[in-house]
Amino acid sequence: MDIPHPRRILILFPPDTPVSSLLQDLTGPSASPTDPTTSSQELTHQITTPYYTASVPVWTDTLVLPSWKTSWLSPDAGEVVRAIGAFVLVFRKPVADSDLEDIKSLLGAVNEVIEKGGGYTWDGVKLAVGLKQGVAPNLQLAEEEWEGICREDGGWEWVDGELEGSGRGEFGELTGIARLKEALETNDWEGGDNDELGLEGLDFGEADRDEGFDAEAAEVEREMFEMRRAIYEPGEGQEEEGIADEVEDSKVEELESMMLQMQAIRDMGLDMPEPERKKFAAKAVRDIMKKSI
């Protein structure tokens, strides 16, 4: 069974965290952006099991507190949270106790966003991935300690990102990146259709992928996601209240316009035969893309 519109994977990481290698492990060797948060490259994690197949979109975001938490706790951000099926928090292992406290703060902050944005019905995986620390000596923690910290600060599953290959633990369980992939495979990816971001009803199915329509729909979705984030997380140089308000108003209007256009496309295509509806939807998405450039 193919899952046509799976929920997303969101990879979060503090600045200067080396995530390129992990992205390559999940999405293939071509995924090597210098700055994953600004790359226009569409990343997907391909899952194939005896029970289902899915091309799961992979989003990335830099995690800086408290601004990230503030933006993601906004009411509108809840729609984005519910469209995510897996949160993967990546960080370097700590050098000192203060670094460990920072990691705990990150775990707690993201978990709070998930609970408030996704509600108690949110059903997904939360994976905390610790990467090798380049500074020595560093703080050494046993696997049991990491598991306890991650469990206590939001129910995260600990994954040791230093472990490569298909190694197994004391009880025969997979470890490292192999465990990360296994956890993603066993997750439920259904239920996160494009309706959360205003794309439901465009019907971009298997037939459309051959003509490149799926990529265009994904580009609109990604742009709407970035616009939502930009609205609630003003960038550098927008500290002055007047400038920030003006930029925010502009982005809100642009996002609302795009949402209205997507709704209009759905409404206009309701009574069309399926082949005609697909062609109409594809052309409409192209037009929206041209206007947003």
3-state secondary structure 69-103: HHHHCCCCHHHHHHCEEEEEEEEECCCCHHHHHHH
Task: Kindly tell me if the per-residue pLDDT of 5 is higher than 80.
Answer: yes
pLDDT band for 32, please (50, 70, 90 cuts): low
Three-state secondary-structure class, residue 23: helix
Structure tokens at 279: 């062609």
| pTM, full prediction | 0.67
The residue-averaged pLDDT of 33-40 equals 49
Percent of the chain at pLDDT > 90 equals 43
Contact 128, 150 (CB under 8 A): yes
At 36 the pLDDT is: 53
pLDDT of residue 17: 93
Half-sphere exposure of 235 (CA within 13 A, CB side): 9
Region 131-151: mean pLDDT is: 89
Worst-scoring range by mean pLDDT, 91-95, 104-108, 228-232?
228-232
- Of 272, 105, 127, 261, the closest CA to residue 185 belongs to 127
One-letter-per-residue 3-state SS of 97-118: HHHHHHHHHHHHHHHHHHHHHH
Return the higher-pLDDT residue of 166 and 204.
Answer: 166
Report whether the peptide linkage leading into residue 33 is cis, meaning its omega lies within 30 degrees of zero.
Answer: no
129 closest CA partner among 184, 69, 55 = 184
For residue 199, the model assigns a pLDDT of 45
Residue 263 has pLDDT above 90, yes or no: no
Q: Taking residues 152-156, what's their average pLDDT?
A: 94
Task: Check pLDDT > 80 for residue 289.
Answer: no
Reported confidence tier of residue 1, pLDDT bands at 50, 70, 90:
confident
User: What's the alpha-carbon Rg for the chain, to the nearest Å?
Assistant: 20
Q: What is the pLDDT of residue 160?
A: 93
Percent of the chain with pLDDT over 70: 58
Q: Is the pLDDT of residue 102 over 80?
A: yes
More confident residue, 215 or 57: 57
Q: Across all residues in the chain, what is the average pLDDT?
A: 78
Mean pLDDT, residues 157-182: 82
Query: Is the CB of residue 86 less than 8 Å from the CB of residue 110?
Result: no
197-221 mean pLDDT: 47
Task: Point out the least confidently predicted range of 24-38, 112-126, 177-191, 215-229.
Answer: 215-229
